[in-house]
Amino acid sequence: MDAKITALFVSLLAQLTTIIVVVAAFFVAWGGVLYATAAGSAHQQETAKRCIIGALIGVAIVLSARVLADTLAGALK
């Protein structure tokens, strides 16, 4: 029973990581579009930078959580 729960957790974590990385890629692309179309507007450039940085920080947090979860799962085996 414990192996089934672990397998479910690993599968769910992999799927969520994939979804979050895809969403972050969308926000990086959106930030790039905003930056490219800013036409010299400092406010729009700053908004684009915040969008890109926020997406990259989100991916870093998710990947760090994934590494931590994998480490804990390995330690509990």
The owner of tokens 């397998």 is 7
φ/ψ of residue 54, rounded to 5:
-60, -40
What is the average pLDDT score of the chain? 90
- Residue 42's identity, in one-letter code, is A
Specify the pTM: 0.80
Q: Domain residue spans in the chain?
A: 2-76
Cβ neighbors of 45 (< 8 A, separation 6 or more) are 35, 38
Quick: pLDDT tens for 36-72: 999 989 999 999 999 999 999 999 999 998 898 888 8
Instruction: Determine the pLDDT at residue 1.
Output: 54
